[in-house]
Amino acid sequence: MRLGSFSRDPASSCRLWLSGIERGETISVYIFRRLSQGIIVLIGALVIVFCITSLFADPAKLMLPITSSQVEYERLKAKLGFYDPAYIRFLRFAWGAIRLDFGKSLWQGVSAMQLVLERLGATAMLSFSAIGIATLIGVPFGSLAAVRPRSKLDRFCTISSLTGVSIADFWLGLMLILLIAVDLRLLPTSGYGWKELILPALTLSARPIGRIALVTRSAMLDELNRPYITTARSKGLFERKVVFSHALKNAALTVVTLCGYEIGRIFAGYAVIVETVFGWPGIGQLAVQSISNDDLPVVQAVVFVAACIVVILNILIDLCYAFLDPRIRYT
């Protein structure tokens, strides 16, 4: 706010300032309410993880050598608290989750949360790269298909999108390795780095490209048939501005929702196959290795971190709606 405008119209400036404070308080209340709901989701995830690990796993057997006796086994179970009531064990487990302490990895002997956080950056790099590629390709594809419905371009975009949605990630990854890495020798097949990121990001972006293109086409067709588009064209605006400045901006709500959903899916384990095929050191590959080695603390930490990320992503996406569409208010 400029000082000159305040001096010329103090009443309107005060109203603007107060409305800004009220809007900020409204958003704060909304964020607090969504965080409260997210805590309930996290508690549900913790209950599910605790029940599954309690029913189908026995860490005492994993921690002892094969030659251990039954007496040593019973003594270790008593030391770990497995003979305590179920609610006591759950409260102990929940208190450790609040402190981000899931114990030490049975496989590597270090903190389970530390292992997950070390791998989290790799999964974040892969997920945002894949969704970035999918957005840069899928949104123009869907927009062009909507501008010229039932044309050859529309059919081509629709068929390409359906192909991307239907293709199997592991098959596409193996084909890219065979063609680009083995035959052409352009990129490495595995590792951690920017060159190693290209092939798994392309593989992981195939299905989101198809979904984003199809959703963008559907949303753009709805927006291009609305009265405000007819008004914009009647005013003599260029078709490019009508499509990309008006229609695409209003259709972006659906695209943002889908992008957030795809990012959450990747963190929740959708990238496990791609990370395994390309040897990408993300939390998906860590979860697979931990399950193979019966490393329950690491599995619990992976599930908890993935649930937290999905909750935070949902809140951020909802907050983006107000910036994309000023008509949305969090009241």
Residue 294 has pLDDT above 50, yes or no: yes
Mean pLDDT on 132-140: 92
> Residues 112, 301: contact at Cβ < 8 Å?
yes
Distance CA 136, CA 45 (A): 34
**Which of residues 268 and 15 earns the better pLDDT score?**
268
Nearest to 142 by CA among 207, 217, 206: 217
Structure tokens at 152: 């050859």
Digit-coded pLDDT (tens) for 28-60:
777 788 888 888 888 888 888 888 877 766 677
Q: Does residue 267 form part of some domain?
A: yes
Tell me the per-residue pLDDT of 115-129, one tens digit each, with 9 for 90 and over. Answer: 999 999 999 999 999
Residue 284 — very low, low, confident or very high, per pLDDT cuts 50/70/90?
Answer: confident
- Residue 38: the pLDDT is 85
Q: What digits encode the pLDDT tens for the residues 250-260? A: 888 888 888 98
Q: What is the pLDDT of residue 124?
A: 92
Q: What angle do CA 97, 98, 99 make, to 5 degrees?
A: 90
Which has the closest alpha carbon to 148: 256, 243, 250? 243
What's the confidence (pLDDT) of residue 22? 47
Residue 81 lies in a domain: no
- What is the chain's mean pLDDT, rounded? 82
**Mean pLDDT lowest among 40-49, 80-89, 232-241, 306-315:** 80-89
Distance of CA 165 to the CA centre of its chain: 18
What is the reported pLDDT for 122?
Answer: 92
- Which pLDDT score is estimated for 215? 92
Residue 26 corresponds to which tokens in the numbers above?
A: 């409204």
Q: Is residue 238 part of a domain?
A: yes
Asked whether residue 4 carries a pLDDT value surpassing 70, the answer given is no
Question: Could you tell me if residue 173 is inside a domain?
Answer: yes
pLDDT in tens, 141-152: 898 888 888 888
CA Rg, the chain, in Å? 26
pLDDT at 1 over 80: no
Greater confidence (216 vs 321) lies with 216
Q: Is residue 42 part of a domain?
A: no
Is 301 a domain residue? Answer: yes
Residue % of the chain over a pLDDT of 90:
17
pLDDT at 7 over 70: no
Instruction: State residue 325 phi and psi, 5-degree precision.
Output: -130, 105
Instruction: Report the domain count for the chain.
Output: 1
User: Mind giving me the DSSP string for 10-56?
Assistant: HHHHHHHHHHHHHHHHHHHHHHHHHHHHHHHHHHHHHHHHHHHHHHH
State yes or no: pLDDT of 69 exceeds 60: yes
C-alpha distances out from residue 291 to 113, 155, 297, Å: 16, 44, 10
pLDDT of 155 higher than 60 = yes
Q: Judge whether residue 9 has pLDDT over 60.
A: no
Tell me, yes or no, whether 244 lies in a domain.
Answer: yes
The burial of 296, by beta-carbon neighbours within 10 Å (0-12 exposed, 13-18 middle, 19 or more buried), is given as: buried
Asked if residue 62 is part of any domain, the answer here is no
pLDDT of residue 110: 86
Domain that holds residue 320: 119-324
> What is the percent of the chain with per-residue pLDDT over 70, rounded to a whole number?
88
CATH number, domain with residue 250: 1.10.3720.10
Find where tokens 């770990």 sit: 80
Q: 195-248: per-residue pLDDT in tens?
A: 889 999 999 999 999 999 999 999 998 888 888 888 888 888 887 888 887 788
